[in-house]
Amino acid sequence: MASASHAPTPLLKDELDIVIPTIRNLDFLEMWRPFFQPYHLIIVQDGDPSKIIRVPEGFDYELYNRNDINRMLGPKASCISFKDSACRCFGYMVSKKKYIYTIDDDCFVAKDPLGKDINALEQHIKNLLSPSTPFFFNTLYDPYRVGADFVRGYPFSLREGVPTAVSHGLWLNIPDYDAPTQLVKPLERNTRYVDAILTIPKGTLFPMCGMNLAFDRELIGPAMYFGLMGDGQPIGRYDDMWAGWCTKVITDHLGLGVKTGLPYIWHSKASNPFVNLKKEYNGIFWQEELIPFFQSVSLPKEATTVQKCYLELAKQVRAKLGKVDGYFNKLADSMVTWIEAWDELNPPKGGVPTANGPPKK
């Protein structure tokens, strides 16, 4: 029987950082205060570093702008996107905690069908602390939730599940649609609260959205590179997608799990579909080649760490996607730079980080 926990969810306040990419004042934190106040925030300020970002009183945070990123990474800063939410992955790199939760600054607290404020972070922690079931689909959804279990015919040898690396939350109100869909359905709002959490089966890719996402940094952190997007790049709004595809082939290879579903946040505003179309158009075309590539990726058994998997992936990106567009050669280089920077800032236990340390607040 799956052991559903009735115990209160641990806060993990000293084991989890909240990463927020932003170009604006963070007044939205006021509504999250009851849930976020105990945690340390890592704010990644995008765009003009001379702009002052206002953070409500009473939050414990560190803030990095482009000057900090350049100072800390030197030439390796080239792998961190500018003028795109992809910059958030710098926050994953500088964190020292086991877990990361990342949220956009236009994502508000949603209400469940009973009208109760949803503590999205608590649900993500529950998702990450309970196993995943990627090898055999449980038709009653997450078997580890209170009131559920494995159904008849589910192999007992698989009921322990595997460690969960990623918890992918969803959004009420403005759904995460691509620009063409947004253009033809400008008034569509997601009002459907589906009370389910699913493990994404092994061998299946998924469109990972970075708006409401949590992950175990120690299990999968180095794979969460949000790619080369925004300023000077031929693509945008595929940052989280790229990270999700790389992450999923690596979690499949390492026997880790990815969950999607609860919790919901309230996505408050739609970004401009015309601007989004300009950012996405290459991605919409290229992904018809990218998806077969990721579906065919095979990682060697010697690839036993996320870094080794990721460097092998970078090699295959260059070999097989370089002919799709020269951009993928640049991306493959940046994937390698990302791992080098990650390992510099996160030396094995006992090593000393070689970057120039966090900024003075």
- Phi first, then psi, for residue 252 (nearest 5°) are -60, -45
**Segment near ligand LCYJ2WEX (CB under 6 A); pick from 131-139, 233-241, 247-255, 317-325:** 233-241
Token digits of residue 267? 């996505």
The site string for ligand LCYJ2WEX over 6-25 (x = CB under 6 A, - otherwise) reads: ---------------xxxx-
* 85 interface partner picked from ligand LCYJ2WEX, Mn ion, none, CB below 5 to 8 A per type: ligand LCYJ2WEX
Which lies closer to ligand LCYJ2WEX via its Cβ, residue 211 or residue 345?
211
Contacts of 242-245 with CB under 8 Å at 24 or more apart are 242/331, 243/89, 243/208, 243/210, 244/168, 244/205, 244/206, 244/207, 244/208, 245/205, 245/208, 245/290, 245/291, 245/294
What are the E-state strand segments in the chain? 16-22, 40-45, 60-64, 99-103, 107-108, 164-173, 197-199, 212-216, 257-267
In the block, tokens 């920077």 appear at 341
Contact status: 53 vs ligand LCYJ2WEX (CB under 6 A): no
Contact status: 62 vs ligand LCYJ2WEX (CB under 6 A): no
Among 29, 53, 87, 118, binds ligand LCYJ2WEX (CB under 6 A): 87
Site for ligand LCYJ2WEX in 98-157 (CB under 6 A): 104-106
Which lies closer to ligand LCYJ2WEX via its Cβ, residue 84 or residue 142?
84
Report the length, in residues, of the chain: 361
Which lies closer to Mn ion via its Cβ, residue 10 or residue 186?
186
CA distance linking residue 104 with residue 124, whole number of Å = 15
Contact status: 273 vs ligand LCYJ2WEX (CB under 6 A): no
Contact status: 176 vs ligand LCYJ2WEX (CB under 6 A): yes
CA distance linking residue 154 with residue 78, whole number of Å = 48
- Return the SS3 of 252: helix
Which lies closer to Mn ion via its Cβ, residue 106 or residue 112?
106
How many Cβ atoms sit within 10 Å of the Cβ of residue 312? 18
- Return the SS3 of 317: helix
Q: Among all residues, whose Cβ is closest to Mn ion?
A: 106
Q: Among all residues, whose Cβ is closest to ligand LCYJ2WEX?
A: 85
The DSSP secondary structure of 134-192, one letter per residue, reads TTS--TTS-TTSTT--PPTT--GGGTT-B-EEEEEEEEEES----HHHHHH-TT--B--
**Beta strands at 40-45 and 257-267: parallel, antiparallel or unpaired:** unpaired
Among 211, 223, 235, 321, binds ligand LCYJ2WEX (CB under 6 A): 211
Site for ligand LCYJ2WEX in 236-255 (CB under 6 A): 237, 239-240
Contact status: 65 vs ligand LCYJ2WEX (CB under 6 A): no
Q: How far is the CB of 272 from Mn ion (least distance, A)?
A: 11
Q: How far is the CB of 339 from Mn ion (least distance, A)?
A: 29
- By CB under 5 A, name the binding residues for Mn ion: 104, 106
Q: How far is the CB of 296 from ligand LCYJ2WEX (least distance, A)?
A: 25
Contact status: 260 vs ligand LCYJ2WEX (CB under 6 A): no
Contact status: 324 vs ligand LCYJ2WEX (CB under 6 A): no
Alpha helices (runs of H) in 74-137, residue ranges in sequence order = 89-94, 120-129
Q: How far is the CB of 47 from Mn ion (least distance, A)?
A: 15
CA distance linking residue 344 with residue 360, whole number of Å = 20
CA distance linking residue 45 with residue 189, whole number of Å = 29
How many Cβ atoms sit within 10 Å of the Cβ of residue 272? 11
- Which residues are at the interface with ligand LCYJ2WEX (CB under 6 A)? 21-24, 46, 83-85, 87, 104-106, 176, 209-211, 237, 239-240, 271
